[in-house]
Structure 1
């Protein structure tokens, strides 16, 4: 009897987790078709190791170019550059939580900028020596998507400025704010 109760409880917990995850799955238009990204989750923090072909199937052309091929959107064109909503910024490719809106600041550089990540492992860093410059590239800690670059001219004591591509981010407003 005890085993049946535990088994039923485990099934219920799994169903709840899956239903909340499905609600957060990302639907994008890829090659003119609506595609559900099965790798997208705002709750799962496990590392994703997917092939380029798998990413190409579930990401829009523009997001694929930035997240997987390291493109950069033009300065002052991104939807979050001058955006000031209250909430959380997630990786647009996989749903990993990256930044809170209270860490965003107006940097006037042309891209949304933040002075800290949500968690130490939200992002990873790589040396970027492209375009005859040496910079620190910022990538998603879950799916390794290109997000932007890190500079040491931020407004707080840590002097960090995470200069991100809007297309690599997805903003979700705080629930209290979304109801207004």
Structure 2
């Protein structure tokens, strides 16, 4: 099948390996609201990331935690960082998220260009493994409080509420914004927990 024979909503992805040829048909996701953001794919890259810490009290010495790490996270793809305990997986994520900056060397890229740290912090979100959500609040209340704290004072209360409503529309998995977070936790609804964390 050739590219021209495919419908307009699909594209052909061909992955070549020395011993095989993998053919995969990629169609547009069902969530049409998400598709509006397809042209804003962000690729995150890092080059020669090194992290050194000082250890010792009276006689200090440097210890290298990460040594010249390179990699790329392509937008729209799921990437896993694997390694044994203590290998530096969490530290690498903390550095890429901007949580750790002291003792860090190397270059962080967005779409192959050096990233603006201030703009990156404003427009990105780092979701931890453990969901730190207030169980006695509803999803709507939690996200409204988060919007009040994170959005600057130049936005009115109505604009902040509208932003929360826009998030609910975007994150279609949250059907009832008035459900208590404690009920989500009790039912162990992992997708809802993730959506609530991302929304906050």
TM above 0.5, yes or no, is: no
Q: TM-score, normalised by structure 2?
A: 0.27
Q: In terms of Rg, which structure is larger?
A: 2
Higher helix share: 2
Taking CA–CA contacts closer than 8 Å with sequence separation of 6 or more, which of the two structures ends up with the larger relative contact order? 1
Task: Return the TM-score normalized by structure 1.
Answer: 0.30
